[in-house]
Chain A
C-alpha cells in the first residue's frame, strides 16, 4: 500500500500554497512533513484528506486515484491540531461517530460499536473517561480521543496535523513516544505534519522537508540530519552555526584560520555550517579562529558558550569535559569546527 503524490499544486487566490510537490509514503510508514509555517505542509495534508482540492497533480493510494473520492469516501483518518472533537458528544459518542454514520447495511450493531469503543479507549488509555465531554478533558486527553476517533473507522491511512502543537513541552514529548507506540501496534501508514524538527526527527521513519510550497529533501532522520540538502535544511534542523568562509586551493579560510577543505567543497565564498556540539574550543595557541567569550551557562548536561567571532555571535553547546579551563567571559579562545558542511554563496 503506497501513497503516491505526483506534482500536486494548489494556490489560494494569488497565494501559491503548493508548487508541484511529489513524494511517496510506503506501507506502514511513519512520514513526517516538516517545514516552517507557510511551507504548504498542512495544505498537502488537507488535500490528502479530501478537505482541499489541488489545482493540478495526482494522488493515488495503492493504485487507486484518491482525488476522485470525496473526503467521506476515502476512509482516511485525520487528527486536527485543535482536536475538532464534537463538543456536544461524550468521549464514547465521539469515538463511535465514524461507525454510527455508516449506511445501515454496513453499520455494526450497537454491541459491536460499544466493544470497538471500549477497545479504542483502552488503546488510548482513557478507559474511565468514556462518559465525559471534551470540555472536561485536558489537552493531551482530548488529542488522544481525537486519535481514537480517527482509528475507529479502521483508516487506510492516518493524517495528523500538528497534533501536539497546542500542548506543553512535557505532555508533547510523552504523547509522541506514545503515538509512535500506537503506530507500531496498528501498523497504519501515518503522515504527520509538524514545524518542530525535534519532533519529526524523533518520531518519523522518514522526514520530508518543505519550504515555500516545494519539497526540499526527503529521507531518514539521521540521513537528513547528517547530509542536509541545502543551507535552509541545515539551519531548520536546529542547532546550526553558520559562518562566512572562503575556499581556495583546497583550503578553507575562516577569519585568520585556514584548514583543509572537504574534497567536494564549492569554490570561492561559502557558507560554513556545523552543529553547535561539533566544534572544539582551545586556548589562544590552539587550532581555530579567534572568538571572544561573552557568556558561559551550564544548561542541563551541556554548557552553553556564547562567543563573538568573525563579526557575529556564535552559540556552542559542549559537554562540560570539553570546555577548557581558560573559558571565561572576556577571554579570547580558538574555535575549530570538527565537521563542516559547505554551501556556495554568502
Chain B
C-alpha cells in the first residue's frame, strides 16, 4: 500500500495542530473524564449503588437484547444492499443509495416518530394491529424497529466503497471455475470484505447500544420493561440521582470506549491484510 509522503510542517502549522488537540481535549476528553469523576463522587460504593437496583439490570438486559437483534439484522441488510448496489445496475439504484443514507441526515426523533405514526394507537396501522392484539409502540418490538432504522447505514456504508473498489471480477472468475452462488459468496465475496464488515458491525453496535432519541419516542419509559441504558441514565438524572446517573453513564461510555479499542486493535493487528484486501 502506498502512503503519500508526509509534508514538512510550515512554521504556523504546529499552532493549528495545537488548536485541534486543545479542541479535542475541551470537547471530548474533559466531558468524558467528568462522567467518570462524577460517578465516583460518592466513592466506589456510590458507583456500584445503581447496580443493586433491578431496574438497572433490566435496562442492561434490554439494551443487549435490542442491540443483539438489530445489529445482526443490519449486518445482513448492509451486505445485501452493498452487494446489490455494487454488482448490479437497476432502476431505482440511486434512490436506494439515498435511502441508505437517510437515517444519517434526519433527526433521530423523526426516526422514532415514524413508527408511532405507523403503529401507534392513533397511527396508520394502529387500529388493525390493535384488533389483532399486536402492540409495537411501548414494547421491545418498537425499540428494535427504531434502532434498526437509526443504525441502517453503518454496515452498508462501510462495505459499499470497498466492494466498489474491488469490483466483480473475482466473483466472475469464481463462477467460470465452477463455483455456485453460495460458494462464491462464502469463499470469495465474504472473505474479501470481512474486516470492513466487522468494522461496520462494531460501529453499528456502539450506536445501537447508545441510541437515545428514536428509542425515547417509542419506549414510553416503562421502568423495568422498556427502559434501555441511555433512557435509564436520563430517568436517574431527572430524579436528581446524579451519582447514579453518572455511574450508569460510565457503563455506557465504557461500552463505547471498548468498541473503539476493539476497532483500533483490529486495525493494528490486521493492517497488512486490510491493505491486501483493498488493493491487489
Interface of A with B (CB < 8 Å)? 49-51, 70-78, 80, 82-88, 97-98, 101-102, 133-135, 142, 146, 149-150, 152-153
Contacts and interface: CB of A to CB of B under 8 A. Distances in A.
Contacts of B188: 86
Interface stretch (B17-25, B115-123, B167-175, B248-256): B167-175
The 4 tightest CB contacts between A and B, nearest first, are A98-B177, A84-B169, A84-B173, A101-B179
Contact of A76 (B176, B273, B277): B176
Contacts of A80: 169, 172-173
Max chain A CB contacts within 10 Å: which of B174, B178, B180, B187? B178
A13 B271 CA distance: 41
B174 to A, nearest CB: 7
B178 A88 contact: no
A135 B178 contact: no
A87 B278 CA distance: 9
A72 B177 CA distance: 6
Contact of B175 (A50, A85, A102, A149): A50
Contact of B280 (A51, A83, A98): A83
B176 A72 contact: yes
B266 interface: no
B87 interface: no
Given A101-B187, A133-B276, A84 B177 contact: no
Given A51-B172, A88-B192, A101-B183, A82 B280 contact: yes
B172 A84 contact: yes
A83 B169 CA distance: 9
B276 A88 contact: yes
B161 interface: no
A149 B178 CA distance: 12
B179 A134 contact: no
Nearest to B180: A72
B280 A134 contact: yes
Which secondary structure dominates where chain B touches chain A?
Answer: helix
Contacts of B277: 87-88
Given A80-B169, A101-B183, A85 B280 contact: yes
Contact of A86 (B170, B175, B180, B273): B170
Interface string B3-28: 00000000000000000000000000
A287 to B, nearest CB: 56
A132 to B, nearest CB: 11
Contacts of B172: 49, 51, 71, 78, 80, 84
Given A83-B280, A85-B280, 19 more contacts: A50-B175, A71-B176, A72-B176, A78-B172, A78-B173, A86-B187, A86-B188, A87-B170, A87-B277, A87-B280, A88-B276, A97-B174, A97-B177, A98-B179, A101-B177, A102-B178, A134-B280, A149-B173, A149-B177
Interface of B: 169-170, 172-180, 183, 187-188, 191-192, 273, 275-277, 279-280
B94 to A, nearest CB: 16
A98 B184 CA distance: 11
Contact of B178 (A75, A133, A134, A142): A75
Contacts of A150: 176-177
B276 A87 contact: yes
Contacts of B169: 80, 82, 84
Nearest to B166: A87
Contact of A72 (B175, B191, B280): B175
A14 to B, nearest CB: 14
5 contacts: A71-B175, A77-B177, A80-B169, A97-B174, A97-B179
A207 B180 CA distance: 34
Contacts of B178: 72-73, 75, 98, 101-102, 153
Contacts of A76: 176
B180 A101 contact: yes
Nearest to B279: A135
A101 B177 CA distance: 8
Contacts of A85: 170, 173, 280
A133 B277 CA distance: 11
Contacts of B191: 86, 88
Contacts of B280: 82-83, 85, 87, 134-135, 142
Nearest to A136: B276
A76 B187 CA distance: 20
A51 B175 contact: yes
Contact of A74 (B174, B176, B279): B176
A77 B173 CA distance: 9
Nearest to A102: B178
A97 B186 CA distance: 13
A82 B172 CA distance: 12
Nearest to B276: A135
B240 to A, nearest CB: 55
B264 to A, nearest CB: 22
A51 B184 CA distance: 14
Nearest to A77: B176
B59 to A, nearest CB: 41
B173 A87 contact: no
A73 B179 CA distance: 9
B192 A87 contact: yes
A73 B276 CA distance: 31
A71 B170 CA distance: 14
A59 to B, nearest CB: 15
Contacts of B183: 101
A49 B177 contact: no
A83 B172 CA distance: 11
A146 B176 CA distance: 12
Nearest to A152: B177
A153 B173 contact: no
Nearest to B173: A84
